[in-house]
Structure 1
């Protein structure tokens, strides 16, 4: 049954931490799959950051209203399970810029919304999607900031590679990247902006946990670190690598409960999630100090 689409637009004078997040360099760690339940990391405000996972659209709307009102903005946003969308996010305290947060969008609605937001002075900064065809569901963060930006949906692997090369040559770099669709036909949703990253940028697509771990070690020898990461259908991983950023720790193939437990553990150690993505019940995150 096709789910009715729902869209929520929230605007406030707050900052969106939407440029590529700080890079991490450490061996990938996989956790076996576990039976999970919806969990929200409970933290007393005000904090520098907080993590929310597996929220319904209604629950997300409530939290967005609360957090935007208290001066927080999303540093990461991910949706999974198109039939019953679940949203996970990381929020940081920042009150310097203006953002819009929208969720429950179809591909058609999102394309129209991007055009409308651009006219209003907001450019796409973060796009996440899940599902396939007419039932695909998207969430997006827009930021009111000067500068050129381009966004694309429904790109095949071959088309994404071509478009990314063309835009990179034109002075753009990836600011957001997510993978949805199916194992047989993964689709890419991406945002490119001028000045999102500096230096060498490389992208690896469709890697298993083992391949991803080997890639991390190889890239580290080149001085490259993950700045963006997406969990693909089929527990595969797409990663954007750059020489920008700082070292940290990453954990792949976490369950929801595993992610919540790891977030608590890492918080005690002084780390916060800098990159977070989820698809098909699989969580992957990178933490950095600060």
Structure 2
């Protein structure tokens, strides 16, 4: 039985050494690396940690004034966790990992009773072997979450929650290529402008979609790499100017691109990983 690790801490201001940064690169040409220095960071990235290593870093980072803004688990047989962390001297969160499909709903209920609402949910694998991780935030803002949704069910639930005044805040796709499953979190408060969702696109399709959505005045706000190297994206009103996205990255190209983007003054906005593929979107500070 998989062990669930839960860590809680009120975050406090602190300095932290620069970690090995990760990043994406759809382009095949090699990326230039940036000089690594010890400094205060407003964000940092952790790539492909085991559950034990993640638990150790979560405890450390929460105590140093960071909270996760993205969390992804991949490889159900040997779970690996990729995450983004941002400076937050006020927030209070719980991070749980190594959960089964039956454990997670129970943990959600317990967290809500303690005043923590789901913020991020990620999964990998399928059936009894599926593995999940989640971030819960201490907040009075109401949230709804749902797991194991088919493509059709997700579309229906998303429409219902949107009509009820909730906006999608977290989305991940797991399962198999033949049967993708969706896990999502919606928070009270409708997003500004129309929100659109595109499901199961290849890299080529996703590239064309970006151009089309940009012309409509939309930008990616959430993205999930699916099994089979497909992409699901949530689009919302906003200019794509200053945004750069990189799909279909390996661990190495992600690391190189991350260092390069940081040197150019970009911060990570979206991060997703599945089946050895990493994708991210960056914004100019």
User: Aligned equivalents of 1:30 and 1:58: distance in 2?
Assistant: 31
Question: What residue is the counterpart of 1:95 in the other structure?
Answer: 89
Residue 20 (structure 2) pairs with residue 30 (structure 1): no
SS of the residue 1:82 aligns to:
coil
User: Aligned equivalents of 1:138 and 1:289: distance in 2?
Assistant: 31
Please say which of residues 190-199 and 235-244 is displaced more in the overlay: 190-199
Question: What residue is the counterpart of 1:264 in the other structure?
Answer: 259
Question: What residue is the counterpart of 2:273 in the other structure?
Answer: 278
Residue 250 (structure 2) pairs with residue 255 (structure 1): yes
Which residue, out of 174, 177, 183, partners 1:180? 174
TM-score, normalization by structure 2: 0.90
SS of the residue 2:102 aligns to:
helix
Partners of 2:25 and 2:253 within 8 A in 1? no
Question: What residue is the counterpart of 1:85 in the other structure?
Answer: 79
User: Aligned equivalents of 2:71 and 2:49: distance in 1?
Assistant: 11
Bigger RCO (CA 8 Å, 6+ sep): 1
Question: What residue is the counterpart of 1:8 in the other structure?
Answer: 5
Shift of 1:14: 3.4
1:100-249 superposed matches below 5 A:
100-195=94-189, 197-244=191-238, 247-249=242-244
Partners of 1:31 and 1:253 within 8 A in 2? no
Q: Cα–Cα, structure 1 residues 236 and 98, in superposed 2: closer, same or farther, change >3 Å?
A: same
SS of the residue 1:215 aligns to:
helix
Partners of 1:227 and 1:245 within 8 A in 2? no
User: Aligned equivalents of 2:43 and 2:178: distance in 1?
Assistant: 37
Q: Cα–Cα, structure 1 residues 85 and 230, in superposed 2: closer, same or farther, change >3 Å?
A: same
Q: Deviations over 1:151-175 (max 9, x none)?
A: 0000000000010011111111100
SS of the residue 2:5 aligns to:
coil
User: Aligned equivalents of 1:52 and 1:287: distance in 2?
Assistant: 16
Residue 62 (structure 2) pairs with residue 59 (structure 1): no
Unpaired runs of 5+ residues, structure 2, are 13-23, 29-35
SS of the residue 1:9 aligns to:
strand
Question: What residue is the counterpart of 2:15 in the other structure?
Answer: none
User: Aligned equivalents of 1:183 and 1:44: distance in 2?
Assistant: 42
Partners of 2:73 and 2:133 within 8 A in 1? yes
User: Aligned equivalents of 1:109 and 1:128: distance in 2?
Assistant: 13
Q: Deviations over 1:66-123 (max 9, x none)?
A: 1111001111111100000000011111111111011000111100000000000000
Question: What residue is the counterpart of 2:69 in the other structure?
Answer: 75
Partners of 2:171 and 2:223 within 8 A in 1? yes
SS of the residue 1:199 aligns to:
coil
Partners of 1:198 and 1:244 within 8 A in 2? no
User: Aligned equivalents of 1:248 and 1:169: distance in 2?
Assistant: 29
TM-score, normalization by structure 1: 0.88
